[in-house]
Chains A and B, each alone.
Chain A
Amino acid sequence: MEELVIYLVIIATLLGAFGGAGVLVWFERRLLGFWQDRPGPNRVGPFGIGLAVADIIKLFAKDDWIPPFADRFIFTFAPTAVVMAMLMGFAVVPYSKELYVTDLNIGLLFFLGMTSLAVYSVLLGGLSSNNKYALFGGLRAAAQMVSYEVFMGLSLMGVVMLSGSFSLVDIVNTQAENVWFIISQPLGFFVFLIAGIAESHRLPFDLPEAEHEIVAGFHTEYSSMKFGMFMLGEYLGLILISSMIATIFFGGWLGPDFLPAPFWFLGKTFAFICFFILLRAGIPRPRYDQLMSFGWKVMLPLTLVNLLVTGAVVLWM
């Protein structure tokens, strides 16, 4: 019986993640349109929601072209890596006290590891394309991810200290007993939020694919569903990061009883997705070196201070 529930959760997660990513394609454009004084996609189906399906059909139907100068094997492998890594990341996300795929005792580390793996996808895609713009995209991605990964991990250590566990279920349970970590770890939240945007390389941290500078960056040479996989990976990453923020800092499934727990989780995740889209609508893109110096000179010290203060508090209280 219990096994059946787990299988059901796995299937629901997969469907939810893929479906969510598909709908997000439409939702993001719609929301951007709303903020930018224009209708956005509104032709296919009610409110244009059929666009999600139309887009997927289009992606599948396009010519799947591998440039003759590219490294065939790596070129094909690269887009799959990001999707696999992101989907694996969903395994540790708890939807309620009982509802999750698995509750690893190193859940947080597993999540960090999986998001790190996604870098390979961008890097390999950029290198194997054998295109100068793609190469720039790959290099930028590597530099950006490596630096932001450092304090993405460190920013969560305060939470780990306070809850005494790497398990995400335990982390939420700790928040149920005390306050949400957004209150006790505001600095950690701030750093994680920014590192999260950088990890999912969305505007203002979309330098690996900054279209105004390097055309489409690492996926310049990709077409059809290989490109679609990158896009899917990006949206999966967006959902994953949002759900992680909701889980780690905003009490995951916790909320008043009039709604079932998973709905609280989904609602919070959705709110953060909207926030990420709003960022995209509002903020310009910093230059590559400015981004790096911001990371190492501002974010890293902040993280270390957070870690130090949290450690001191845990030690003496």
Chain B
Amino acid sequence: MATQVMDVESSLRDEFPDVSFLAQKTADNIPTFWLPRARLKDVLSFLKPSYEMLFDLCGVDERTRLHKDDLPEVDFTVVYHLISFRNNCDVRLKVALNQEDLDVPTVISVYPNANWYEREAWDMFGINFVGHPSLFRILLPPTWEGHALRKDHPARATELEPFSLTEERQDKEQEALRFRPEDWGMQRKNDNTEFMFLNMGPNHPSVHGVFRIVLQLDGEVIVDAVPEIGFHHRGAEKMAERQTWHSYIPYTDRIDYLGGVMNNLPYVMAIEQMAGIKVPDRAKVIRIMMAEIFRMTSHLLFYGTYAQDVGQMSPVFYMFSDREKLFRIVEAVTGGRMHPAWFRIGGVAHDLPEGWDKLVRDFVEFMPARLDHYDKMSMNNSILKQRTQHIGIYSAEEAMDWGITGPGMRAAGVDFDMRRDRPYGGYDQFDFEVPVFHNGDCYDRCRVRVEELRQSLRIIEQCLNNMPEGPYKAEHPLTTPPPKERTMYDIETLIHHFLNVSWGPVIPAGEGSVTIEATKGANMYYLTSDGGTTSYRTRIRTPSFPHLQQIPLISRGLMIADMVAILASIDFVMADVDR
């Protein structure tokens, strides 16, 4: 890592001798530099050839931050996180802004997926991206007042006037939702035809939640599309600023609500990174096993609904009964089903129950035959192939440009998997393959996931056969709940225990982030601690958010039925998009 910091730093300093790149130390060791906004576009354009993807862009309100020692003078920050998949490295760039002047140049021309991220940063912090073509609200309703993630914006409903929906207000809200093609630069008609604007969603059988996509149609052919999100926004990032580090874990379960404990993983790992907690082996393997079980439940649901969306009725029922088998294991182990909130800072909540190995072994033996059966039923079905092959294609370059990660990226031929290429949490100890396909169409996106189901089974089997003995939680005062055994014997442990149970752990000030290969793509938690019991800023980079942004690109010229196939093949959940 150290040489890599040198590399990007020296090449930046060589290229831009006039810019003082102020380096910042972070717990995740990602090279982090502050730069003036005037040179932002130049620097990004310079980095783009080697750093293909704008992985994340977010704002931070730094005004109430206490630990500002290695920060420049700053009220608001815009953070640009770039990834190079070729060289497998990251760089984080930060632009400091004064609250009197929140203008930043837009970087859409360099990284097209910045579009939605910049809209989000404007929505949440009021940062004005100069030159952005459609700087509207994206997550909050268009009638919202203020910018929700600013520190002076209230976090609870009780801090506001009691809510009432008068008729006047209802009319205003409804009017605000009216779609005006002109706002999006669309024509209502051309020389030959008058277009139809079809409002798909937010309540439609195939949009998998509250997602709205407005289609501009010529007959049944899609001329253009405008995806609209935000209906599922619950302010997860804002909530993180008032929950303790520990009590926020259940909220993460509900980000990608099909991912269960998979969501806990990057969050607790990022905290462990900042606190310097070493997780024991047994906890690591348990975590991996549970995460892979949830990858299977999520992929099975995807598989079933994917077949259902192209009109095949039965598979979803078979796959739900398989998921039920998995949920029984989850229930036996954690006590919960879809949202167990079971990982803890420093380990997991309990040890595995007696007899867990039989449950898991039964499933591992049962499942492969079922998967072969499903291949015959769905993947080899000629109608299903006709419906999904050569539909909704993007290339590897487009996937990079639009921030597509996970199975969607591997379907387009990018051979990268966080688990293999940046092994986290103990994945380097496992044997598995990373399925890669090259067409980038709906069918391949499904094939990747079907193969991943098989690989997940392999990983689970390895966990089963090689489960290490030992503690399931680290011996560290900042784990939650903290170890209690010795509290009555020495005062030090008693104090730690008392503080951590009554206040919650105090995580040392700093910044950390962990990216994992979640069910739907790369999921990152970027945490900032100000040395308190709650996080100062929790940035949740979810995979589904950019996946939805590129829908118009791959659906132009196709038909309504193809749009349904595309939506099905992306595998998103709206909670993962809107947070």
Interface residues of A (CB under 8 A from B): 32, 35-38, 132-133, 136, 203-204, 206, 210-215, 280-290
Contacts and interface: CB of A to CB of B under 8 A. Distances in A.
B561 A213 contact: yes
Interface string B528-570: 0000000000000000000000000000000111101000000
Nearest to B305: A212
A210 B204 contact: no
Contacts of B206: 212-213
Given A132-B198, A286-B383, A38 B311 contact: no
A280 B308 CA distance: 12
A283 B312 contact: yes
A289 B557 CA distance: 14
A213 B199 CA distance: 12
A312 B313 CA distance: 43
B309 interface: yes
Contacts of A287: 386-387, 559, 561-562
B317 A204 contact: no
B217 to A, nearest CB: 9
Given A35-B314, A284-B381, A288-B559, A212 B564 contact: yes
A205 B205 CA distance: 18
Interface in B278-311: 307-311
A204 B384 CA distance: 11
A214 B312 CA distance: 16
Nearest to A133: B198
Closest 10 CB pairs of A and B: A285-B311, A284-B312, A36-B317, A284-B311, A287-B561, A212-B206, A284-B383, A284-B310, A284-B384, A212-B309
A31 to B, nearest CB: 12
A210 B311 contact: yes
A301 to B, nearest CB: 19
B551 to A, nearest CB: 16
B50 interface: no
A215 B308 CA distance: 14
Nearest to B562: A287
Q: Taking each of B196, B317, B384, which has the highest tally of chain A beta carbons within 10 Å of its own beta carbon? A: B317
A37 B272 CA distance: 44
Contacts of A212: 205-206, 308-311, 564
Contacts of B386: 286-287, 290
B211 to A, nearest CB: 14
B318 interface: yes
5 contacts: A38-B317, A211-B205, A212-B309, A282-B312, A285-B310
Interface residues of B, number: 29
Contacts of B314: 32, 35-36, 281-282
B88 interface: no
Given A213-B561, A287-B386, A203 B311 contact: yes
A210 B560 CA distance: 11
A40 B205 CA distance: 21
Given A132-B196, A286-B386, A290-B386, A281 B561 contact: no
A212 B312 CA distance: 11
A300 B295 CA distance: 47
A153 to B, nearest CB: 26
* Residue picked from B204, B378, B381, most chain A C-beta under 10 Å: B204
Contacts of A211: 205
Nearest to B384: A284
Contacts of A38: 317, 321
A37 B318 contact: yes
A287 B205 CA distance: 17
Contacts of B7: none
Interface string B181-214: 0000000000000001011000011100000000
Contacts of A290: 386-387
A71 B381 CA distance: 42
Contacts of B560: 136, 213-214
A282 to B, nearest CB: 7
Contacts of B198: 132-133
Contacts of A136: 220, 560
Contacts of A210: 311, 561
A179 B564 CA distance: 47
Nearest to A286: B383
